[in-house]
Homo-oligomer: A and B are copies of this chain.
Amino acid sequence: MNTSEQNKPIFPKGDPAIAEYFTGQAWVKMLVPTGTSLNTSVANVVFEPGCRNNWHTHPGGQILVATHGIGYYQEKGKPVQLLQPGDVVQIFPEVLHWHGATPDGEFTHIAIGTNTQLGVVNWLQPVTDEEYSGLRSAK
């Protein structure tokens, strides 16, 4: 494989994410669906700059593998974490959190839904501009 091939994203950008649960534009490419005996889903998610998902929880948990760009991950009541390519986040069942891009660039992660026989996601309120911009001044 030559260098120019390695530069390409390995997944297509996928379908627009459900707008109700995101601030800004994201795209989701499902790679492994829920509902199989693996009890695990896999999706590639691309966030445009400034985009983040709503506060949410996963009944069975989730694992994020950051692959391109720089992202944010925050659990309720904890400092935001910067995610760089190769960073991995373990999100345990029922932990309230959100994730997304920084204001300055697109961010991509693989999202692995775990124990999906327990349910996939419970969406809550958006991450407000105040919450999101507060992160930047705290850096």
Contact B68 A6 (CB under 8 A): yes
Among listed A18-26, A38-46, A74-82, A127-135, interface-contacting one? A38-46
Question: Which residues from B are CB-within-8-Å of A16?
Answer: none
Q: Is A69 an interface residue (CB 8 A)?
A: yes
What residue of chain B has the Cβ atom nearest to residue A33's Cβ? Answer: B90
Tell me the smallest distance from the CB of A41 to a CB of chain B, in Å: 9
Contact A68 B1 (CB under 8 A): yes
- A interface list, Cβ under 8 A from B: 1, 3, 6-7, 10-11, 31-32, 36-40, 42, 60-61, 63, 65-70, 85-86, 88, 90, 92-93, 105, 110, 112, 114-115
